[in-house]
Amino acid sequence: MFDTKLIDVNFVRWMACAALLGTAGCYTGTDKAGGGSTPDTAAGGEAEAGPADGEGDGDGDGDASAGSDEGGQPDDEAPFEVPTSEVQLLPFHVRMANLVAVTGVPADHAMFGQLWAKRFQLGDHDYAHGVAPDLDWNADRMEQWVKAVKPVCDDPQFQARYPDLASDVTRLARAAYGRDATDDELQAFDEVKLGQVDGAGQYRMVCLAVLTSLEFVAD
């Protein structure tokens, strides 16, 4: 059973890099871990697409065993469990309300532009047009969420609200979870920064780890 209260560090690192290929300082592997299944098998060989287009949207049938040492691609040694049907996302409007509360800006702020643009890919509904909610937390939706949340992490107003996030996650964790982070979670947030070559990369990875954690997005 996937524990929605725990941060899967390897998953966050892998998914952030798979979604953000071409980002300077992107994590280049999970060499601390043993072998295991990775989301590339569920996402159509995402990690094999390469950084050439700068988007990480490749849809090739890459061999999951072939890691790369450039472009920020993670290696294939990522022993995390991809959440399946036992994990249900919070409704899209609830996730957006949570982001509004965490960031302190209105829902129409520019930092949320990608989230609104991808709202149906992220599980929102429009009954008037026959679109039902889809709250499964699958590999494609994970990737789309990371891509859409990245502008939030990079926004100057968000960074002004949490200026020390790379070194102190406690304020953001408290705002996101409504409680203090546990010692294990604080250690996980430290580990998610491994491989980042600069403060900006560390900041982004910690931000993505919080805003992509199951406790923040899932029921």
Paired strand residues for 194 = none
| Of 21, 81, 15, the residue nearest 51 (C-alpha) | 21
Q: Could you tell me the pLDDT band of residue 218, with boundaries at 50, 70 and 90?
A: very high
In this predicted model, what pLDDT tens digit does every residue of 59-111 receive, in sequence order?
Answer: 444 444 444 444 444 444 443 455 555 789 999 999 999 999 999 999 999 99
Residue 162 has pLDDT above 60, yes or no: yes
Q: How many residues does the structure list for the chain?
A: 219
Contact 137, 87 (CB under 8 A): yes
Query: What distance in Å separates the CA atoms of residue 146 and residue 11, rounded to the nearest whole number?
Result: 12
Query: What distance in Å separates the CA atoms of residue 131 and residue 153, rounded to the nearest whole number?
Result: 29
In this prediction, residues 16-24 reach a mean pLDDT of 49
pTM value? Answer: 0.68
Query: What distance in Å separates the CA atoms of residue 5 and residue 218, rounded to the nearest whole number?
Result: 10
Q: Could you tell me the pLDDT band of residue 219, with boundaries at 50, 70 and 90?
A: confident
Low-confidence winner among 12-16, 108-112, 168-172 (lowest mean pLDDT): 12-16
Query: What distance in Å separates the CA atoms of residue 166 and residue 176, rounded to the nearest whole number?
Result: 16
